[in-house]
Each structure stands twice: as structure tokens, then as C-alpha cells.
């Protein structure tokens, strides 16, 4: 047990054990939808039924062709909901694979056409799937990375981006900047970014995972060359996602084999998961306006109440356009890990940031990219709402928070 116990400041072994026991019994409030969202009831019905279908979608017999029809109907549905052509939907295993395929695939293709194009433009606030892909290209493939600076609210410096493009456009292989940040919720002006890049015919990739279902997302209207989405953040099973890739854009495959997905992604397609994914996307897009309004109400209530309890709390990206379902706090003088486990002990699941970094006691790279210090980046709490969130969830949070905060404050900033 001690080998996997997260670092939790000054919390005792007994407190950790109680929190773990509470999780095993089942949480009654879940406020970590940016990590993963519960499967939607309608999706579960479709998925379990689809799993009964026999046949490889690539097989020519009737079983295989029935699976193929299921797969292609899912592709058509997602294309309609996201404003793209059906042939632009490339099914993958999820967001990480899609980001890797986009960043590495675009870089390799562009570099193959012109050895001078070795510059990748991104930001320090990107998801690890993008940042690690870029870092790999720098370390192993001769790439150079340029990180667009952000202000203290998380907004990209578009004047700096325009300057770099004007000075070095002939060296740029691609730009990869997320549509909305999964930790702090800030929304990036994707259309302005693609407008800048279009002057130099530079492809832009965007991780739109946090944006899908929470703000309007249209691939055709975005000007993007590639866009990443995944299923489990909108209520489908884990393990299915897509890269939306423009018909006019080419890239080099990362995984080689049968070339089942437009010769760009190999592997037997999971038709059942794709079918479930399509239902989740459709419902998320259809409900987006009403859920955005509800989540704004929930976020507003939560922020106002926490500010009254902790006057010196900082709300990330509060002054700029941000996702209505995302609330990101920075609490001075206490660890986010302590808050997380004490809230968990009291029946409310939240997070400190990206689930991909969970269990690692280190400052948020996103908060650091805003110019914050290490202690501030260690004292974060992220609350994210989803398709089944209600005012009752906020009530439960506000009931549990005061005790958790006092405990975390007493634990302080001790890091072991």
C-alpha cells in the first residue's frame, strides 16, 4: 500500500485509509467530469446491444458488413454533429493517440516535403499528449519547438504568434494549440489562430477534447487542419476517440498495419465503441446550449460561495472567456492534494488538475505557464461539471468544503 500512496502533505495514514474506504463504497457526488464523465444511459443501451454484433468490419461476409455498416453510420453521425465530411473522421483509441497522430504525423509529412520545416509551435499549457509528442520530436527527430507565451489569465499572445509566423513561416511544420484548456478552462480563439496560419499555408491542429459538448465546435468553421476529440469526456466508453483530419491534409501514419482508417491509422476498428461514441457526441452537441447555461449557474454559485469562505482564493481565468463547466481555484497556504483527499473523505470527488498527472505530487505545468510560483501551482482544485450535474452537487460540495479546507490549511504546504 505504501508504494502507491500519493503524497498528501501532512494527512495521516488513517485519513488516507478513510478516504480510500469511502471511494470503495461509492461516491455520492462526482465533480471530475474533465477526467472522465459517467457513461450516458442511452449510450450504455446502444453499446451493450452493439457488443452482440459479430464480425470484423473489414470482412466481406454478411457479419463483417453488418459491423461495417455500424461503423460507417457512427462516422456519418459524428461528421454531421461536428461539421465535417464523413471521410475526415478517423477513429482512434482516444485523445492521446489522436494527439500523437496529429503532431507527429503532420511534422513527419511536412518535414519529408521540406527539410527546412522543423519548427513546431505550441504552448506550455497544452495537454501532456501534445507536449510529450513535441518534446519527443525535439529530442529524437531534429525538431525545434516554439512556445507561445500566455498571460496570467491563460490567454495566448497572438501578437507574438503573428511575429513568429512572419519571421519564420518557411520553417514552421505545424501549430498545435488546444481549443479550451482542460485544467483552467480558458477558451482559445481558434479562428484567429487559423486565420494567422492560413496566410502562410501552415496546418493547425487543436486538441478540442475539453471544448466538445461545452462550447460550439465546428470543424468546417474552425479553419483547422486537424482536431482531436475523445469519447469518455462526453459520456461514451473509455477507449474510443477520433482525429478529424481535413481531406486536403496529409500526414505520416504513426501506427502501421492494415491501414483501416484512410490508410492513416491501422488496427481493427471497434464498431461497437464507435457506435456508442457517436451517440454520446450527438447528445453532447444537442444539449450543449442548455447545459452551458446550467453549468454557468452552478459555477457562479460555487465561485461566489467559496470566495465568501476564503477571501484570498484565486479563480483561474476568471476575467476571460472560459468553459462554463470548469472552476479552477488556487488556495494559498495549502496543498491541492490535501484538499482532494479531504473532500473525497467527505463524499465529494474533485481533482487538482489533469488526471494524466494524478498520483504525482508536482506543481501544475499549466498554472506554472501562467507565471505562478510553485507553491501556488501546488494549491489547486478543479471542479468540472458534466451531463448529469445538478444544483444538488454544488450543495454537497459547499457542505463538505469548509471542513476540508480547514484540514488542508492545517496540513499546510508540507511536501514529502
Q: Which long-range contacts (CB under 8 A, 24 or more apart) does 83-89 make?
A: 83/217, 83/218, 83/219, 83/220, 83/221, 84/219, 84/220, 84/244, 85/247, 87/247, 87/262, 88/219, 88/244, 88/245, 88/246, 88/247, 89/242, 89/244
Q: pLDDT tens for residues 171-202? A: 999 999 999 999 999 999 999 999 999 999 99
HSE-CB for 3 with a 13 A CA cutoff? 0
Q: What is the mean pLDDT of residues 221-233?
A: 98
Residues carrying CATH 3.40.640.10, the chain: 41-283
Q: pLDDT tens for residues 256-283? A: 999 999 999 999 999 999 999 999 999 9
Looking at residue 13, what is its pLDDT? 52
Residues carrying CATH 3.90.1150.10, the chain: 13-38+288-411
pLDDT at 24 over 60: no
Orientation angle between helical segments 271-309 and 41-50, nearest 10 degrees? 160
Closest by Cα among 317, 322, 244 to 277: 244
Rounded CA-CA distance 319/331 in Å is: 18
Q: What is the mean pLDDT of residues 363-369?
A: 93
Q: How confident is the model at residue 369 (pLDDT cuts 50, 70, 90)?
A: very high
Q: How confident is the model at residue 8 (pLDDT cuts 50, 70, 90)?
A: very low
CB of 276 within 8 A of CB of 240?
yes
Q: pLDDT tens for residues 196-208? A: 999 999 999 999 9
pLDDT at 1 over 50: no
The domain made up of 41-283 is a member of CATH 3.40.640.10: yes
Q: Is the Cα dihedral 183, 178, 250, 231 positive or negative?
A: positive
CA dihedral 11, 13, 18, 22 (to 10 degrees): 80
Residues forming a β-bridge with 381? 329
Strand positions, DSSP E, 214-254: 226-230, 241-245
Residues with catalytic roles: 356
C-alpha grid cell, residue 201: 499555408
Closest by Cα among 128, 120, 253 to 182: 128
Q: Which fold has domain 13-38+288-411?
A: 3.90.1150
Location of C-alpha cell 451531463 = 387
Location of C-alpha cell 481555484 = 329
Q: pLDDT tens for residues 233-246? A: 999 999 999 999 99
Amino acid at each position: 500500500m505504501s508504494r502507491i500512496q500519493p503524497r498528501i502533505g501532512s494527512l495521516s495514514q488513517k485519513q488516507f485509509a478513510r478516504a480510500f474506504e469511502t471511494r470503495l463504497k461509492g461516491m455520492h457526488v462526482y465533480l471530475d467530469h474533465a477526467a472522465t464523465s459517467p457513461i450516458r444511459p442511452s449510450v450504455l443501451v446502444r453499446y451493450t446491444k452493439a457488443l452482440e454484433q459479430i464480425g470484423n468490419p473489414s470482412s466481406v461476409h454478411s457479419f463483417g458488413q453488418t459491423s461495417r455498416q455500424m461503423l460507417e453510420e457512427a462516422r456519418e453521425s459524428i461528421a454531421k454533429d461536428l461539421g465535417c465530411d464523413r471521410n475526415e473522421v478517423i477513429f482512434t483509441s482516444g485523445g492521446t493517440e489522436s494527439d500523437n497522430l496529429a503532431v507527429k504525423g503532420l511534422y513527419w509529412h511536412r518535414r519529408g516535403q521540406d527539410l527546412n520545416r522543423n519548427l513546431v509551435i505550441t504552448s506550455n499549457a497544452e495537454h501532456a499528449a501534445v507536449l510529450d509528442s513535441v518534446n519527443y520530436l525535439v529530442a529524437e527527430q531534429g525538431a525545434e519547438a516554439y512556445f507561445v507565451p500566455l498571460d496570467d489569465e491563460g490567454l495566448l499572445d497572438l501578437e507574438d504568434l503573428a511575429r513568429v509566423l512572419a519571421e519564420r513561416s518557411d520553417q514552421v511544420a505545424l501549430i498545435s494549440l488546444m481549443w479550451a484548456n482542460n485544467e483552467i478552462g480558458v477558451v482559445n480563439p481558434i479562428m484567429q489562430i487559423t486565420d494567422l496560419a492560413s496566410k502562410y499555408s501552415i496546418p493547425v491542429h487543436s486538441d478540442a477534447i475539453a471544448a466538445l459538448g461545452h462550447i460550439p465546435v465546428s470543424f468546417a468553421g474552425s479553419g483547422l487542419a486537424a482536431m482531436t476529440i475523445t469519447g469518455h469526456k462526453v459520456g461514451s466508453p473509455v477507449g474510443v476517440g477520433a482525429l478529424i483530419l481535413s481531406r486536403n491534409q496529409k500526414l505520416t501514419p504513426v501506427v502501421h498495419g492494415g491501414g483501416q482508417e484512410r490508410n492513416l491509422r491501422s488496427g481493427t476498428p471497434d464498431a461497437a465503441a464507435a457506435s456508442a461514441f457517436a451517440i454520446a457526441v450527438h447528445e453532447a452537441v444537442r444539449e450543449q446550449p442548455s447545459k452551458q447555461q446550467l453549468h454557468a449557474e452552478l459555477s457562479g454559485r460555487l465561485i461566489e460561495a467559496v470566495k465568501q469562505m476564503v477571501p484570498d482564493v484565486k479563480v483561474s481565468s476568471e476575467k476571460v472567456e472560459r468553459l462554463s463547466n470548469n472552476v479552477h481555484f488556487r488556495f494559498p497556504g495549502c496543498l491541492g492534494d490535501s484538499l482532494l483527499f479531504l473532500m473525497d473523505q467527505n463524499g465529494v470527488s474533485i481533482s487538482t488538475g489533469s488526471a494524466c498527472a494524478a498520483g504525482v505530487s508536482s506543481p501544475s505545468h499549466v498554472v506554472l505557464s501562467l507565471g505562478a510560483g510553485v507553491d501556488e501551482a501546488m494549491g489547486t482544485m478543479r471542479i468540472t461539471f458534466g451531463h448529469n450535474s445538478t444544483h444538488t452537487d454544488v450543495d454537497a460540495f459547499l457542505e463538505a468544503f469548509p471542513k476540508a479546507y480547514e484540514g488542508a490549511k492545517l496540513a499546510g504546504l508540507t511536501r514529502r
